[in-house]
Structure 1
Amino acid sequence: MFVRRLSVIIPSYNTAEMTLRCARAVLAAMPDTEVIVVDDGSTDGTAALMPREVRVVRIESNSGFAAAANRGVAAANGRIILLLNSDAMVESDALQKIVSAFDNDARLGVAGAQLIEEDGSPQWSGGSTPTLAWMIAVVSGAGSRGKPRVKTKVDWVSGAAMAFRREAWSPFSERFLFYCQDIEFCLNARKKGWDVRVIEDARVVHAMGKTIAADSPLRHDPAKLWPDLLTWGSAHYGKTWAAFARVTLMLAAALRIAWTKLRGRDASAFVRALKAIRKSAAVRA
């Protein structure tokens, strides 16, 4: 059976136009690439809009990012697989640079593209294993004030543009509703002995957050991100850690809400997120 060098999987839920642009950019950059769009229960005609070069895998009802990604990988033929958000646009040479990185490094198991804004400024494309201090910075807003540092050797890379060898594959965990699947996936790959890094010259323009919070000015939906962080921490640090973290993150969230209101801005997204932390299943006995 003919095996392709690269398969690109694009999970999509009611992002038809963005998905079409994303798929066209992939085909323009590397025409022989297998492109699979996983239509995760969309109601906006996503499947009908795709060109014939794109294979569509349909899921009848919305099942979430992890399940859609797993379905896409199961259908893919490539020896290297790139998971790509529908709100991402690969630059013309990005795919070749990703494939070359794997060809030139037998230990490389997972590689992330360098995510950028439309103006070329960098986004966070990977990082270190999350700690409670890091989570507090995320929830309080302190972590959003720094300029992203471009690092190559990392513990995890963003699932917005994440490539991996088929041998490094393990199914994405469906216990996370929206976030942290990439962190968990990379952790599992590193446990198998694979290296994880960002390919800094493989650039992908990412309209960050458009796939999960199209009606919000925030880059991430905190009501989805914060509970998933607790779920991830509970799985790896234990229930006692999670119970302490829950209280700490609630305090950080309350400070975020107060500071946001003090500046005369809408804090409703953070109020919803605080309620989500309180209800988080990660710390229930």
Structure 2
Amino acid sequence: MSEGIDLTVCIVNWNARDLLRNLLRSLEVARDELALEIIVVDNASSDRSLDIVECEFSHVTVIRNEHNLGFAKANNQAARRARGRLLLFLNNDTVVGPGTLARMVAFFDEHPELVALGPKLVGADGRPQHTGGNLPTLTALLDRIRFLRWTGIFHSAYHTYLRGGFDPNRGEPVERLTGAALMVRRDQFTSCGGWDESFPFGFEDVDLSVRLRQSGGLYYLAEAEIVHLRHVSVRVNPRFAYLGAEFGYARYLSKHHPSAWGRKLYKFLVIVDMPIRILSLAAQCASNLLLRRRERAWYRYQQLATACGFLVKDMRRFWHC
């Protein structure tokens, strides 16, 4: 039973104490506008994130994990505990302005044909981010292969997937929405199976969009705005993000691309491309060290180590994902 709760906000946290505090503070206004429930799932943070939740936000429901279970599994934990008729999956590096959630809930109530809704996301500089659009095709993802990207053959397909036709200042139906701020009807979310936990990091929101569209429309609501700092998790744990993204792209094609040869071709090309990426990352790491850009050098080194590890120990698992 929803017990009259309009919306449950589901937040996954890992070592982002200050960001989490800022987000929860921004949600305080929404508690006066809606019957709101907030659930924080903590993936074994070591920065005492939950101390601030328990001390400053006693109304927030907390789920503690002993290990980092990842984005999808932790969000499913929150969804199972949720009592709201609507769910909002919200990254911990976001800030919600007054009236935003009420506006989104009202739009949902006015459009029963919709199953999912995404707001406009803007960076700290106020610039809008590309948070909705078309579903990716195999040709679009082939542009990620470095030696193919140099040819420019697949640039157009990638641009169509990433940006084609999407105007962040215009609300419209879309094929996919980002998981950074995604509102869904709880019943439809449950019936489609929730987040696919086989996605380690990245592209799980595109997969969810595909499955949600089978029961209703997806809509990008430009009139509702949320600040999104973006890529915080990537910067904190670049190894996990880099490897997770590779598995995410391949897993998406395994589930949704109709051609078996196309799925195998993509994986084969990623494997062939990996030594080229390693050389490129090594060069970037060295140049950043020479220029005393230590933070950038560290970031590239983490990606380099992950790419090397991919060839040594993760390639077989990647092929069968």
Same fold (TM over 0.5): yes
CA distance in 2, matches of 1:253, 1:65: 26
Percent identity between the two aligned chains: 24
CA distance in 1, matches of 2:274, 2:135: 21
The corresponding residue for 2:39 is 36
The corresponding residue for 1:57 is 63
Equivalent pair of 2:75/2:195 in contact (CA under 8 Å): yes
The corresponding residue for 2:206 is 183
Residue 137 (structure 1) shift: 3.2
The corresponding residue for 1:3 is 4
1:243 equivalent to 2:249? Answer no
The corresponding residue for 1:204 is 226
CA distance in 2, matches of 1:273, 1:26: 39
Structure 1, unaligned runs of 5 or more: none
Residue 236 (structure 1) shift: 2.0
CA distance in 2, matches of 1:105, 1:174: 29
Residue 255 (structure 1) shift: 6.0
1:86-235 superposed matches below 5 A: 86-138=92-144, 140=146, 149-150=167-168, 152-169=172-189, 170-192=193-215, 194-214=216-236, 221-235=241-255
1:216-271: per-residue Cα shift (whole Å, max 9, x none)?
6x9x9333212210111112225432220123345666666666748945554267
CA distance in 1, matches of 2:105, 2:144: 32
Q: 2:120 aligns to what SS in structure 1?
A: strand
1:281 equivalent to 2:284? Answer no
Equivalent pair of 1:116/1:205 in contact (CA under 8 Å): yes
* Greater Cα shift, 262-271 or 242-251: 262-271
Of residues 59, 65, 72 in structure 2, which corresponds to 1:66? 72
CA distance in 2, matches of 1:232, 1:274: 23
Residue 214 (structure 1) shift: 2.1
CA distance in 1, matches of 2:16, 2:45: 8
- TM-score, structure 1 as length reference: 0.86
Residue 30 (structure 1) shift: 3.7
Question: What amino acid is aligned across from residue 40 of structure 1 in structure 2?
Answer: N
1:19 equivalent to 2:20? Answer yes
Q: 1:176 aligns to what SS in structure 2?
A: coil
Residue 29 (structure 1) shift: 3.3
CA distance in 1, matches of 2:209, 2:31: 26
Q: 1:213 aligns to what SS in structure 2?
A: helix
Aligned CA-pair RMSD: 3.0
Residue 202 (structure 1) shift: 1.2
Change (3 A) 1:135 1:122: same
Change (3 A) 1:92 1:273: farther
Equivalent pair of 2:271/2:315 in contact (CA under 8 Å): no
* Greater Cα shift, 182-191 or 135-144: 135-144
Q: Give 1 or 2 for the bigger CA radius of gyration.
A: 2
Change (3 A) 1:258 1:154: farther
Higher helix proportion, which one? 2
Change (3 A) 1:132 1:102: same
Equivalent pair of 1:9/1:82 in contact (CA under 8 Å): yes
Equivalent pair of 2:278/2:307 in contact (CA under 8 Å): no
CA distance in 2, matches of 1:149, 1:139: 27
- TM-score, structure 2 as length reference: 0.77
Structure 2, unaligned runs of 5 or more: 150-154, 289-296
Q: 1:167 aligns to what SS in structure 2?
A: helix
Change (3 A) 1:274 1:146: farther
